[in-house]
């Protein structure tokens, strides 16, 4: 970990994914994706 100015910068993977300051964001865009493809019916069949 490095301190740059008044900010802490994490430098190892362990520091970066530390659960106390990490969040997992999941954004489901399946409906948006499927509704906008040109061959929707063919895509859904497979």
Question: What's the half-sphere exposure (Cβ side, CA atoms, 13 Å) at 16?
Answer: 3
Quick: pLDDT tens for 1-39.
999 999 999 999 999 999 998 999 998 877 777 777 778
pTM over 0.75: no
Question: What's the half-sphere exposure (Cβ side, CA atoms, 13 Å) at 44?
Answer: 11
Number of domains, the chain: 1
Which residue segment(s) compose the domain that 34 sits in?
2-45
Higher pLDDT, 27 or 43: 27
């Amino acid at each position: 970990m490095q301190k740059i100015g008044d900010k802490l910068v994490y430098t190892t993977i362990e520091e970066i994914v530390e659960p106390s300051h990490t969040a997992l964001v999941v954004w489901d865009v399946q409906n948006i994706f499927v509704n906008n493809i040109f061959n929707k019916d063919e895509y859904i069949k497979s």
